[in-house]
A = this chain, B = another copy of it.
Amino acid sequence: MEKQKQKSAAVVGGGLVGAMNTCYLSSRGFKVDLYEARPDIRTMEIVRGRSINLALSYRGRQALKKVGLEDQVVQDGIPMYARMIHDLNGTLRPIPYGKSDQYIMSVDRRKLNETLLTAAEERPDVTLHFQHKLVSCDLEKGKLTFKMNGGEDVHVEVTTDLIMGNDGAYSAIRKHMVKRPRFNYSQEYIPHGYMELTVPPHNGEFAMAINYLHIWPRNEYMMIALPNQDKSFTLTLFMPFDMFEQLKTGDDVVKFFMEKFPDSVPLIGEESLKETYFRLPPLPLVSVKCFPYHVSDKAVIMGDAAHAMVPFYGQGMNCGFEDCLVFDEIMEKLDSDLSKVLPEYSMYRSPDAHAINDLAMYNYIEMRKSVNSRWFLMRKKVDAFLHAIMPRVFIPLYTMVSFTRIRYHVVINKAKKQDVLVDNSIQALMALAAVGGGYFTAVAISRHLDSIPGWLRDSVWGFLRGDFAV
């Protein structure tokens, strides 16, 4: 047997998923070249246009763990054990995410990206190429052409065994796939945009309770806040674009915040609010689905490139990281035979990616609206109770998504069955309550039987005996 020639991979995109895939592919013996259009994030002063922090949960951590980075990442994260609901009247209400030891973790996107890039760079046979923008490609043949942005216009041509498209929601690799015959694709923008604001530290400390994901749910729109290592919070306002546009002056903005998010105004600061609101326009939120994710044995897309989702389940990064893990598991199972691995990855992963996409869209309503309802709070308690008495059988939806690796499409099916169970249980409880109530009513009546008119007593007894049937 000859020794197999080392395979090469070109990872397009040096964000979170691209950097992680570089680690995985290097571990599998690939010679990996990573191409990123922007400069090295580790050398940049300001990184614009993406969320500042993210919620890391179980799936993401498992993927980090397998490349040996979980501990390093987690030590810089801030646990969030519950949602903290900020009502309009200033009341604060925590709603736990799971059991008392279960939490999601606020991590800094930039820091995490830097950690992953550095880890990737340290692996064998890995080269990182920054300021390389994809200008054309032939996916079937594994050919890529990049334009180098450093000074003169230099074009670089690459031929590789595996094109790994991890270039985000507006993926250039995916655009080439969309043109291919029988490629299914959808992009859906929601009416809401988002804007980030900051709550700086107050007197050197966090200005709000630390270990929470703060939410100001206002039905048609909402604001959230995640804590940062530097003791600030990053606020994100989600609101329909036309509402954003209605606020035209600094005073409009302050008035709106005083009315709708009054407790946040002193924390942000009026001047900072006025200034930040107009610094950047609100950004759109897109949901992307497609199928398949691969082209022959040569190219595959993952992360936002394959399934950008709205951010309301905090699973965009976690799902992207799990993509890398799932791909690695399939590589293991199919002995790195790309002609088998790529189709298997498309078949296996797409129902899960479509499912989390749908769940994220569903949570878009839950987060801004449902959390305000008594029914929602009651349901969370019923779920927690059922989970406590049968931890294997009944697992709350949020728990399955955030604290397990149950496949997302299985999560949806299981959640539907559980909903039926809960509905039936509640009906049974109500029936029991009705019977119990009936019994006590009957006992109460029987004690005062003499005061009921004879004709009424007789006809009721007659009815109960079944006299009506003859």
CA A294 to CA B188, docked complex, whole Å: 17
- Alpha-carbon gap, A115 to B110, bound state (A): 62
Contact B185 A184 (CB under 8 A): no
Give the most central of A182, A241, A466: most B CB within 10 Å.
A182
Residues of B within 8 Å of A183, CB to CB, are: 187, 189
A467 surroundings in chain B (CB, below 8 A): 466
Which residues of A276-310 are within 8 A (CB) of B? 284
A464 proximal to B (CB < 8 A): yes
Q: With A186-B186, A187-B186 as given contacts, are A181 and B469 in contact (CB-CB < 8 Å)?
A: no
- A470 interface hit (Cβ, 8 Å): yes
Q: How far is the CA of A187 from the CA of B186 in the complex (A)?
A: 6
A468 part of interface (Cβ distance < 8 Å): yes
Interface 1/0s, chain A 173-211, versus B by CB < 8 A? 000001001111111110000000000000000000000
- Judge whether A465 is part of the interface by a CB distance below 8 angstroms: yes
Query: How far apart are A464's CB and chain B's nearest CB, in angstroms?
Result: 7
The closest CB in chain B to the CB of A186 belongs to: B186
Give how many A residues have a beta carbon under 8 Å from the other chain's beta carbons.
19
Distance of A187 Cα from B178 Cα, bound (Å): 9
- Among B178, B181, B465, the residue within 8 A (CB) of A470 is B465
CB pair A182–B470 under 8 Å, yes or no, is no
How far is it, in angstroms, between the C-alpha of A144 and the C-alpha of B464 when the chains are bound? 84
Asked if A185 contacts B187 (CB within 8 A), the reply is yes
The distance in angstroms between the C-alpha atoms of A469 and B467, with both chains bound, is 9
Identify which of B182, B187, B188 contacts A189 (C-beta below 8 A). Answer: B182
Chain B residues lying within 8 Å of A469, measured Cβ to Cβ, are 464-466, 469
| A361 to B322 Cα, complex, angstroms | 33
> In the complex, are the beta carbons of A182 and B284 less than 8 A apart?
yes
Instruction: Encode contact with B along A231-261: 1 for CB under 8 Å, 0 otherwise.
Output: 0000000000100000000000000000000
Interface residue ranges of A438-470 to B (CB < 8 Å):
464-470
Determine if B181 and A184 form an interchain contact, defined as CB atoms under 8 angstroms apart. Answer: no
Residue in contact with A188 in the complex, picked from B178, B184, B188, B284, CB distance below 8 Å: B184
A97 to B441, CA, bound (A): 61
Residues of B within 8 Å of A241, CB to CB, are 182
Contact string, A1-21, partner B, CB cutoff 8 A, digits 1/0? 000000000000000000000
Write the nearest CB–CB distance from A6 to chain B, whole angstroms.
35
0/1 per residue, A112-155, Cβ < 8 Å to B?
Answer: 00000000000000000000000000000000000000000000
Measured between beta carbons, the chain B residues less than 8 angstroms from A184 are 187-189
Whether A284 touches B181, Cβ cut-off 8 Å, given contacts A186-B186, A186-B187, is: yes
Q: How far is the CB of A463 from chain B (nearest CB, A)?
A: 9
B residues in contact with A187, CB < 8 Å: 178, 183-186
**When chains A and B are docked, how far (Å) is the Cα of A185 from the Cα of B185?**
8
- Docked CA distance A185–B288 (Å): 10
Distance (Å) between the CB of A15 and the closest chain B CB? Answer: 21
A464 / chain B contacts, CB cutoff of 8 Å: 469
Please give the residue numbers on chain A whose beta carbons come within 8 Å of chain B beta carbons, in ascending order.
178, 181-189, 241, 284, 464-470
Interface contacts beyond A182-B241, A466-B466: sample of 4 additional A-B pairs, CB < 8 Å, sorted by A = A182-B189, A185-B186, A186-B187, A469-B469
16 A–B contacts, CB within 8 A, in A order: A178-B187, A181-B284, A182-B241, A182-B284, A183-B187, A183-B189, A184-B187, A184-B188, A185-B185, A186-B186, A186-B187, A186-B188, A464-B469, A465-B466, A465-B470, A466-B470
